């Protein structure tokens, strides 16, 4: 399984780099939108939409919400408001994780999916388009989340003992989270030097983003468990579906953008 995951990752990373740095800015943003449209199709499975037509209709509704958010967020005060609300949403999701198992009805699942997918897509698209070094910042965000994930995986395998959220994701441990945060901190130090950001605000932001990425992963896992699904899809061999790959980013993206806006970066 690990070998298959590595091979898939080695194929996907060049595609990501191409979308960020070779496509025109608008093309890169469109690629993000298409990716999250596919994620919305998968989310429809969480509330029992079985037919492909119903899933596409739900994804179209999510895309309409994202288009509205994107249009009004050209004003960065509005973008700050939207990403701030998303940050509060993900902090509230931490309560959901700690209270699991809890049943979430179909309507709540559908509404949550629109909020999660649309706000994440808009945050990433705006980051890519509106910042002078947007593609680099977006790549750094992925690297930061990957560092948290990789550090947690290998630390957890090596020394993990205390379960983080056994009812949600039995494989995750507190030791693993600590290792992930440590590796993310190293990535943050490198990012601060690369972008010329002050470590006094950038390092705490990156640590918060790394921590909230874990909440994103666990929250999507809750919706999958409620639907009786192991993976959100099968599009990526060894990785599952789109949401299985971007679950952490859906939480990390809005929080990262909110932090940049608050810092005036």
- Answer positive or negative: Cα dihedral of 170, 171, 173, 177: negative
pLDDT score of 239: 60
Return phi, psi of residue 63, to 5°: -65, -35
Share the mean pLDDT of the chain.
91
Report the share of the chain in percent with pLDDT over 90: 70
DSSP string, 5-49: HHHHHHHHHHHHHHHHHTS-HHHHHHHHHHHHHHHHHHHGGGGT-
Residue 135 above 80 pLDDT? yes
Structure confidence at residue 238 (pLDDT): 58
Q: For residues 117 and 90, what is the distance between their CA atoms, to the nearest angstrom?
A: 12
DSSP state of 144: H
* Domain with 66 in it: 2-263
Q: What is the pLDDT of residues 139-191, one digit of tens each?
A: 999 999 999 999 999 999 999 899 998 889 888 999 999 999 999 999 999 99
Q: How many CB atoms lie within 10 A of CB 160?
A: 21
Total of domains in the chain: 1
pLDDT at 68: 97
Q: How many residues does the chain have?
A: 265
pLDDT for the residue 139: 95
pLDDT for position 101: 86
Q: Which two tokens stand for residue 250?
A: 């859906």
Percentage, residues of the chain above pLDDT 70: 95
236 beta partners: 240
- Give residue 103's pLDDT: 85
Mean pLDDT of the region 211-226: 94
Residue-wise pLDDT tens digits, 106-124: 999 999 999 999 999 999 9
What is the pLDDT, as a whole number, of residue 232?
Answer: 81
The DSSP 8-state label assigned to residue 74 in this structure reads T
Q: At what angle do helices 106-130 and 134-159 cross, to 10 degrees?
A: 130
At residue 6 the predicted structure's pLDDT band, cuts being 50, 70 and 90, is: low
- Give residue 3's pLDDT band: very low, low, confident or very high (50, 70, 90): low
* pLDDT band, residue 1 (cuts 50/70/90): low
- Could you read off the pLDDT of 11-69 as tens digits, one per residue? 777 877 777 778 887 888 899 999 999 999 999 999 988 888 999 999 999 999 999 99
- 2 pLDDT above the threshold of 70: no
Q: For residues 176 and 159, what is the distance between their CA atoms, to the nearest angstrom?
A: 8
DSSP 8-state assignment for residue 227: T
Report H helices in the chain.
Answer: 2-21, 25-43, 52-72, 76-99, 106-130, 134-159, 174-195, 199-226, 242-263
């Amino acid at each position: 399984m690990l070998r298959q995951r590595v091979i898939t990752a080695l194929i996907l990373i060049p595609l990501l780099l191409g979308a960020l740095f070779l496509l025109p800015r608008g093309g890169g943003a469109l690629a993000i939108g298409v990716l999250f449209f596919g994620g919305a199709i998968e989310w429809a499975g969480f509330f029992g939409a079985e037919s492909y037509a119903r899933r596409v209709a739900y994804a179209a509704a999510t895309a309409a919400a994202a288009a509205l958010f994107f249009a009004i967020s050209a004003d960065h005060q509005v973008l700050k408001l939207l990403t701030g609300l998303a940050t509060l949403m993900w902090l509230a999701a931490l309560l959901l994780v700690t209270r699991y198992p809890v049943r979430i009805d179909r309507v709540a699942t559908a509404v949550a999916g629109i909020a999660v997918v649309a706000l994440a897509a808009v945050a990433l698209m705006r980051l890519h388009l509106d910042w002078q070094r947007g593609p680099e910042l977006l790549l750094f965000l992925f690297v930061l989340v990957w560092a948290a994930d990789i550090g947690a995986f290998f630390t957890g395998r090596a020394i993990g003992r205390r379960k983080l959220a056994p009812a949600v994701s039995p494989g995750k441990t507190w030791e693993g989270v600590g290792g992930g945060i440590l590796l993310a901190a190293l990535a943050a130090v490198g990012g601060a030097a690369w972008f010329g950001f002050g470590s006094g605000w950038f390092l705490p932001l990156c640590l918060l983003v790394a921590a909230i990425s874990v909440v994103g992963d666990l929250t999507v896992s809750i919706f999958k468990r409620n639907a009786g699904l192991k993976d959100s899809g099968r599009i990526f061999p060894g990785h599952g579906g789109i949401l299985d790959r971007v679950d952490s980013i859906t939480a990390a993206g809005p929080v990262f953008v909110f932090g940049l806006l608050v810092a005036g970066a």
